Amino acid sequence: MSSQPRTLTVERDGAVAIITLHRPDAANGITQELAAELGQAAYDCAADSAVRAVLLTGSGRFFCAGGDVKEMVGYGERAGAETKKLADLLHRAVTSLARLGTPLIVAVNGTTAGAGVGLAIAGDLVLAADTATFTLAYTNVGLSPDGGTTFALPRLIGLRRTQELLYTNRRLSAAEALDWGLVTRVVPAGELAGEALALAHQLAAGPADSHRTIRRLLLDTFDNSLETQLELEARGIAACAETDGREGASAFVEKRAPKFH
């Protein structure tokens, strides 16, 4: 990154970039600074061709408690303008994560609330510790949703369940989140970091062009007609056939494991 971030850490483990929200004493709450640094970290990962998968997690007992309410109180009479700035910075980060050309794995290590839920469910694959919980909590402080929650939740769990979460602030356990389709897998808390990193490395060793095309197709699918989506699928598979597909097909015929580069 262009400068050392203060609210998160970015580490490399081979072809995997690990972004860790790091405000453990503040429940990894999202400030303007954290939102800006998360957007920059996502941008830097996207610009680095050596990064083949990105892993997002949190430090301490929380994954992310959403917007930092203490910072919001400090906005005072500029609450509207400063909250808009916070949301804009966060949404740039959400967009950058969504537009990554590599798979995004999220390891939800603990409590997550508000916009933290938006970050959690942004992953292609989401692993949750068995101790993790999920709640929207916006109306508890008189706010409306942000962080892409009203975009992603209806698509993942349907409108009725989304309405229940937003209006009642129902808290979901990790097991309930799995049952509802918010997460991919629940693992023992002590095994989360290892399983998430192993999964990230598994994807990092896979076909980068195929992964990139899958992300793009799924991101746009709800906006496209059937015919448009079919055409995009045809173009995508044709492009992959000229790159990773050649190695994949050869390996299949030769009955060996493919070696994607």
How many C-alpha atoms does 235 have within 13 Å on its Cβ side? 10
Structure tokens at 249: 């097909």
146 tagged catalytic: yes
Asked if 202 and 55 touch (Cβ cutoff 8 Å), the reply is no
Residue of 88, 91, 130, 209 with catalytic role: 91
> Catalytic pick from 22, 68, 124, 146?
146
Q: In 3-state terms, what secondary structure has residue 257?
A: coil
CB 182 within 8 A of CB 172: yes
Q: What is the dihedral of CA 6, 12, 16, 22, to 10 degrees?
A: -20
Residue among 137, 113, 129, 133 at smallest CA distance from 65: 113
Q: Is 91 a catalytic residue?
A: yes
Query: Which CA distances in Å does 238 have to 44, 100, 248, 252?
Result: 29, 21, 14, 18
Per DSSP bridges, beta strands 16-21 and 8-13 are antiparallel
- Rounded to whole angstroms, the Cα distance separating 45 from 116 reads 20
Tokens of 135: 């709640």
* Residue tagged 């979901």 (tokens): 172
Q: Which tokens belong to 104?
A: 């995004």
Q: Tokens 């009479």 sit at which residue? A: 77
Q: Just list the catalytic residues.
A: 91, 146
